[in-house]
Structure 1
Amino acid sequence: MKLNSKIAYSAASLLLAGSTVSAQSLNDAKKAIDAEQYQKAKSMLKNLTNTQATNADNFFYLGWVYALQDYSDSAKAVFNKGIAANPKSALNYAGLGAVARLEKDRAAMTTNFNQATTLAGKDSKPFVYVGKAYLLPVAGATAVPAADANAAIAVLSKGLAVNSKDADVDIALGDAYRSQLKSNEAYKYYSDALTLNGNSAVANVSVGVLWKYANNFEDAEKQFQKALSVDPNFGPAYREWAETDLRWAQTDPKMASAKIKEAADNYRKYLSLTDLSVESRMRYADFLLLSGDYKTLQTEAAALSSSANSNLRIYRYLGYSAYENGDYQAGLTAMNNWLSKADPKRVIPRDYLYLGRLQLKTGADSLGIQSLRKAYSLDSTNADVFAEIAKNYYGKKQYAQAGQAYESYINNTKGAKLQDYLNEGLSYYYAYDDKTHKPADTVYLAKADSAFSHIEKVATTPIAAVALYRAYVNDTKDADRQNIKGLAKPFYEKYIQIVTTKGVTDADKKNLANAYAYLGTFAQYKEKDMAKATENFNKAYEYDPTNRQAKAFLKK
């Protein structure tokens, strides 16, 4: 379900609630982080790192904001400053471990996490942030790997043993279980957090998210409303409410129109309660991508890409959305921009998928195929690229390459359909040129026949086209009419039986004529049965008076 492009917000109309820094305590900065008021939090924390330069915690929370916003280099620099301020700062080692995980440096991650938990002592917060770090989204991943979720649960359980009264530990444990779709366990820990602190907006929203995924939309809304009753300015409640509305719209068509409008309104409220920073608008872009509203996403991404301090990731979104909207040249420019400027560690297989598609659409076929193959080499779940490559080859009548690509698709995916086997068979059949073929090219006929044969074996009802093409393949093998072996005979007979049973249409007549003409030829040269030959050629002529074989035989 796509959002109406008219919902795109006007920045001038939104209230910059909470955008000024009125309090300078670390607790207020942490509240701003929870509320996703990242710009406000950074301003406060930068001030604290200057006025309280010996407090390593100030550096950690500033670095954590950078990590959340996908600025790994800035995060690492700030965490190192925190360690310089206090070499025994467990939190900053947790931060360095988080950056290492985002950069896919598992050895550095483990070393820093171990150092964090060793230095933690009786402080549960380092355990909380090591656990949270395991759950951070890594570029290219669609979910938290089970191993990371289990590692998060293990370290958070240690944190719970250190301090069973820290609601943040329970919330993080709930998040870890929720990432693995273990709703009962997640609910247990969110409930424990609410028992410790019933006014936790974060915990109330987290329970609402559980109800959202259970499609219990009414109770989800109640939890978001409860969070807002605790803190009317808690933006994430509106964001999750918006995403719940979107899911509701996709699940219940009757509610779609109203819920899409409500989703847009709630997301506008979320934005108004953040700081309308580039990062907040990036989160809006994330939402648009999730919702499939590519039209609005392209407009928003284009606006963000003109900002000097914009996250480079916006070029990825601009490339994706431009492709989906058919604006291929703009999409290609954006993807080239992203891939040439982004840290290679931030590039994901899907980027090459869209790059390849855009290159194909703009005529750079060889580059496009190369990019699609790279997407597959980086992530074997992208086997669909072979179908796209095959379609491109087939459209250009490069049938041998098309057949090979369809074969690769079938061999590398569990989702192959009978149509894919048909496409493979047709490609290989047309790849065999009976005017210029070499002996080795007969492998194409064998592959074509194998593909058609597979369809016959698994199809629930006989398919006329498959029988016909099996006949064509075997007819090609049996080209010497004077010494005809009858390889195609059973397939032509099957074709005739399927078509005449269902009822002959005008589109069937030429093919039927060819089938009867073959049977007439077989009767004439192999069976030496002229009566039978005459009968078949008469039927061929009846269906298609222009059939050359029938006309030639009957003329004699």
Structure 2
Amino acid sequence: MKTRSLMKSRFGLACFVAASLLVGQTEFAVAQGTEIAEAKHLVEIDQSKKALDVLTKAASTYPTSPAVFYNLGLLQLKMNKRQEALQAFDKGIAADPKDALNIAGKGHLSMLEANAAKAKLDFDKALSMTKSKNVEVMQAVARGYMVDPKRATETVTLLTTAKGKDDHNPETFILLGDAYLQLNDGGKAVSAYETAAALDQKNALAHYKVGRVYLRSRNYDAAQESFSKAISIDPNYALAYKEQGELYYQMSKGTDAVKAYEKFISLTESPEKYQSKLAFYYLMAKDFKKANDIFKQLVSKDSTNATILKYYGVSQYESKDSVGARSTFEQYLAKQKPEAIEAADYNYYGKVLLKLKQDSLAMQAFEKSVTMEDKQPNIHETMAQTYFANKKYAESVASYRKLFQYRKPSSQDLFNLGRAQYYAEDYVKADSTFAALGVLQPNMTVVDMWAARSKASQDSTSENGLAKPYYEKLVQKVSTAASKSKNDNAMLTEAYLYLGYYSYLKGQNSAAKDFYQKVLAIDPKNEKATVAIKALTAPPPKPKGSTGK
């Protein structure tokens, strides 16, 4: 009886010890699992340094945990700390030589070092040790293979096997989605990510990855929905805000892009890495002051970055800092490779020079631009107008002709062209242009005036009266107007002077005098009309030898 009682007592003690050990192992597993999960989450919200601190501390707290060392090494690989990662994997193997996770980790490192043969030895060993039944090890091997997208088919096969072992593991489906993306199969990738999301309702990563697939295919509505789901699960999910910023930028919604990216910047541990992109978002949102502030800092740190110089110049131009923009564009044009300079770059530089009233230099910039890309109607129009303003009428005409190759001329275009032709003394072509404009704008009196001028210039002595019907038409239109502007009176004065002179040439002195008096009614001090009337009303000269009696 005593022997039996003693045996029962020892058996009970053994059970208690085993149970106690099991409880201890469970608590150990839960504790390290919590810290690993925390570190993974920190990585997802772009807090890798904090994640490294968590795992480094966990490695000290749980020195016999292969999983902790594997995840520590994996993060160190992500942070390009390869030597430290190797040390972590070696410690994991030393902690438990029978655990294959860290062997797979060393294979991952070999893949990053382009040593696929060595990597395969480690991967095969890890899978052999677990008889290809350990899902976590298969996941680790898959991560390693994904370093090389050309191994994507092999990766999918491996993960499909893992899925068969445990079809309720969200991480397997996340990795499977990544592998399908390497095969450019967005549909299967989305399906895998959505399965992961369904298995774990709190998995923001899955929705984030779905959003990235849709963003890549420019399905903006679906992408936005997925990013919003990730944020609803985790309001601090930094990477979702980052991709939202890119989404809105692609949609040309500058203000929304800024809002999303500013949120991301507030969450990331390395905001300085993303300042340049934020500056571009500010530029799109037309917040030029903030864009300039960032571009200025970036240029002060690196004045050789041609792209930053270019868009800094654009932002300065848009903020009306023409002096600064000129300096920046000149730095850009000096530092950018000639073959990388675009027509639009010369356009901005030309516009800056126009603002500074450096018209000749601006025209040189525009000429370079249209030489690179002729089909730029807006630039041809700017050139035509600028040449006209600088009294380079032949060049203005040429620019308008270029403009009309790419755009149907508007009434204003024809009016400007006609005047340029007139001042270039090409009166026949000016006449033709104003005739075409008269068809489009039959009620515009200013068109009649320029048509009359063109005719008059072809009849320098006015003997043929080519302009007479045009000036008469002008008088008829303006005279019947209910009220007359200063410009109307000026046109009437011009018409009456012409008609008065033409009448004088034809010996119609009474009619001529009448026209000149109409001029004086409008402008009593008009010198031409005054002189003409005096000449018309003066008595005829006395014959020679006459006494006048």
Match of 1:496 among 475, 479, 497: 475
Contact 1:298 1:317 in 2 (8 A): no
Question: Is 2:194–2:207's contact at 8 Å kept on the other side of the alignment?
Answer: no
- CA distance in structure 2 between the aligned counterparts of 1:353 and 1:454, rounded to whole angstroms: 32
Q: Distance in 2 between matches of 1:44 and 1:445?
A: 74
Please give the secondary structure, in 1, of the residue aligned with 2:153.
Answer: coil
Q: CA deviation at 1:424?
A: 2.2
Query: Is the partner of 2:320 in helix, strand or coil?
Result: coil
The aligned counterpart of 2:210 is 203
Would the alpha carbon gap of residues 246 and 337 (structure 1) be closer, same or farther in structure 2, given more than 3 Å must change?
A: closer
**1:553 to 1:202, Cα distance in 2 relative to 1, 3 A:** same
Quote the residue 1:266 is aligned against. Answer: 260
User: Which residue pairs with 2:435 in the alignment?
Assistant: 453
| Other-structure match for 2:485 | 505
Counterpart check, 1:122 vs 2:129: no
Residue identity matched to 1:468:
M
- 1:359 pairs with 2:353: yes
Tell me which of 382, 385, 389 is aligned to 1:388.
Answer: 382
Instruction: Give the partner amino acid of 1:540.
Output: V
TM-score (norm 1): 0.59
**Residues 256-307 of structure 1: CA distance to partner in whole angstroms, max 9, x if unpaired?**
xxx95x7654331122234545551111122122222223222221111112
Distance in 1 of aligned mates of 2:234 and 2:303 = 31
Partner of 2:455: 474
**Matches of residues 412-431 of structure 1 in structure 2 within 5 Å?**
413-414=406-407, 416-431=409-424
**What residue number does 1:47 align with?**
81
Cα separation, 1, equivalents of 2:270 and 2:350? 34
Preserved CA contact (<8 Å) 2:519 2:526:
yes
Letter in 2 for 1:122: T
SS in 2 for 1:368: helix
Q: Which has the higher mean CA deviation after the structures are superposed, 490-499 or 44-53?
A: 44-53
Percent identity, please: 24
Aligned CA distance change for structure 1 residues 522 and 299 (closer, same or farther; 3 Å): same
Match of 1:18 among 47, 51, 56: 47
On the 8 A contact 2:177/2:193 being kept in 1, the answer is: no
**Counterpart of 2:501 in 1: which secondary structure?**
helix
Q: Which residue of structure 2 aligns with residue 238 of structure 1?
A: 241
Deviates more, 1:393-402 or 1:509-518: 393-402
SS in 2 for 1:380: coil
Query: Quick one: structure 1 residues 449 and 239, their matched pair in 2 at CA, closer, same or farther if it must change by over 3 Å?
Result: farther
Could you tell me how far 1:347 is from its partner in structure 2?
2.8
* Change in 2 beyond 3 A, CA 1:240/1:517: farther
Deviations 1:415-473 (A, max 9, x none): 653223222222232233xxxxxxxxxxx2233333333322333x5222222111112
Structure 1 residues 213 and 166 mapped into 2: Cα distance closer, same or farther (>3 Å)?
closer
Q: CA deviation at 1:315?
A: 0.7
Q: C-alpha separation between the residues in 2 aligned to 1:166 and 1:191?
A: 7
Question: 1:319: how far off?
Answer: 0.8
- When the two structures are aligned, how many residues end up with a matched partner? 397
Distance 1:208 1:546 in 2: 74
Determine if contact 1:201/1:230 at 8 Å carries over to the other structure: no
How far apart in 1 are the matches of 2:384 and 2:301?
Answer: 39
| Contact kept in structure 1, 2:326 and 2:353, CA below 8 Å | yes
CA RMSD of aligned residues (A): 4.6
Partner of residue 306, structure 1 = 300
Q: How does 1:37-186 map to 2 (within 5 A)?
A: 44=78, 46-48=80-82, 85=115, 122=153, 166=177
TM-score when scaled to structure 2?
0.59
CA distance in 2, matches of 1:429, 1:517: 20
- AA aligned to 2:307 is R
| 1:247/1:343 CA distance change after superposition, 3 Å | closer
Do 1:389 and 1:402's aligned partners in 2 also have CA atoms closer than 8 Å?
Answer: yes
Name the structure 2 match of 1:227.
230
How many angstroms apart in 2 are the aligned matches of 1:41 and 1:371?
A: 51
* Contact 2:430–2:454 (8 Å) recurs in 1: yes
Q: Does 1:297 align with 2:276?
A: no
Corresponding letter in the other structure for 1:466 = V
Give the 5 Å matches for 1:276-295.
276=270, 279-295=273-289
| Partners of 1:239 and 1:267 within 8 A in 2 | yes
- 1:399 and 1:174, CA in 2 relative to 1: closer, same or farther beyond 3 A? farther
Kept in 1: contact 2:346–2:365 (CA 8 A): yes
Deviates more, 1:301-310 or 1:281-290: 301-310
Select 1:545's aligned residue among 516, 524, 542.
524
Secondary structure of 1:20's match? helix
State whether residues 279 and 294 of structure 2, in contact with CA within 8 Å, keep that contact through their aligned partners in structure 1: yes
Cα gap change, 1:415/1:284 in structure 2, threshold over 3 Å: closer, same or farther? farther
Instruction: Give how far 1:480 is off.
Output: 0.6
- Return the alpha-carbon distance in structure 2 between the equivalents of residues 406 and 378 of structure 1: 18
Alpha-carbon contact 1:17-1:272 (below 8 Å) kept: no
Query: What letter matches 2:351 in structure 1?
Result: R
Q: Please tell me whether the aligned partners of residues 152 and 183 of structure 2 are also in contact (alpha carbons under 8 angstroms).
A: no
Once the two structures are superposed, what CA deviation does each residue of 1:308-354 show, in whole Å capped at 9, x if it has no partner? 49843111111111122222222122112222223345432221211
| Letter paired with 2:493 | A
1:354–1:302 CA distance, 2 compared to 1 (3 A): same
Q: Contact (CA 8 Å) 2:388, 2:420: kept in 1 or not?
A: yes
- 1:458 aligned partner, one-letter code: L
2 CA distance for matches of 1:370 and 1:551? 49
Note if contact 1:478-1:486 (Cα within 8 Å) is conserved in structure 2: yes
Task: Give the Cα separation in 2 of the matches to 1:480 and 1:359.
Answer: 44
Which structure has the greater CA radius of gyration? 2
> Greater RCO between the two (CA within 8 Å, min separation 6)?
1
Aligned partner of 1:410: which letter?
A: F
Task: Report SS of the residue matched to 2:80.
Answer: helix
Contact 2:313/2:324 (<8 A) preserved: yes
1:544 CA displacement: 2.6
**Cα separation, 2, equivalents of 1:321 and 1:193:** 43
Is the contact between residue 46 and residue 239 of structure 2 (CA under 8 Å) also seen in structure 1? no
Instruction: Find the aligned partners of 1:172 and 1:286 in 2 and give their Cα distance.
Output: 32
Q: Distance in 2 between matches of 1:335 and 1:471?
A: 47
Q: Deviations over 1:156-203 (max 9, x none)?
A: xxxxxxxxx74776799799xxxxxxxxxxxx8997576555433143
Determine whether 1:465 maps to 2:446: yes
Distance 1:508 1:263, change over 3 A: same
Tell me, in whole angstroms, the C-alpha distance in 2 between the residues paired with 1:290 and 1:508.
46
With over 3 angstroms needed to count, the CA separation of the structure-2 counterparts of 1:203 and 1:550, relative to structure 1, is: same
Aligned match of 1:317: 311
Aligned ranges 1:510-521 → 2 under 5 Å: 510-521=490-501
